[in-house]
Amino acid sequence: MTTSSTARTFGYVRVSTRRQTVDQQMDALLAAGVPADNIYGDVISGAKWDRDGLSSLRKLMRSGDTLVVVALDRLGRSLSEMVKLLEWIVSEGIELRSLREGIDLTTPTGRMLAGIFASLAEYERALILERAEAARDAARARGRQVGRPKSMTAEQIEKARALLAADWSRVRVAKELGVSRASLYREIPA
């Protein structure tokens, strides 16, 4: 594909949580020649499709522009969404460069490799979820609390039932037990 002299280069960075940093990705994109003002990003799971930085890029980019990412998994982890994004990139005439995988979407081989890497990213995500569920199951089997701890003890629930039976209001019972009304309704529905 020939690009005009007005073609621009954009970069995209993404991390899943605020505890992570995009510094390494930014350094790699800057070293690859992406102007700092043209780098967009998100702090959100790759499984989420509605991302502000990615949406901004999709509105800005036009045929002949190049999108540079450090790795394909920065674009997303879901195969269906990655395929949809890659189809959009190709249909709009946008070039994609992935630094880690060395992919150039302007070639049939590049498009095939992008699909393979997207599949592998989705597979890796599925494995992570399976391992996490197995760890939770193992913890439950050993009698350990999994997830958010209950907000009320069995004794508090018993006392709450007695107070409600004595015509105390839920507001008063919650205050007496030092719990929220939401917790009281969750444990003892109306």
Write out the catalytic residue numbers: 16
Task: Say how many C-beta atoms besides its own lie within 10 A of residue 39's C-beta.
Answer: 20
d(C-alpha 126, C-alpha 184), whole Å: 36
> Is the distance from CB of 66 to CB of 7 less than 8 angstroms?
yes
Alpha helices, H only, 61-180: 79-91, 108-141, 154-165, 170-177
Extract the tokens encoding 50: 């509605």
Instruction: Label residue 185 left, alpha or beta by phi (over 0 means left) and psi (-120 to 50 means alpha).
Output: alpha
* DSSP-derived secondary structure letter, 56: H
The residue to which tokens 């190709």 are assigned: 90
Residues near 145 by beta carbon (within 8 Å), at least 6 away in sequence: 139
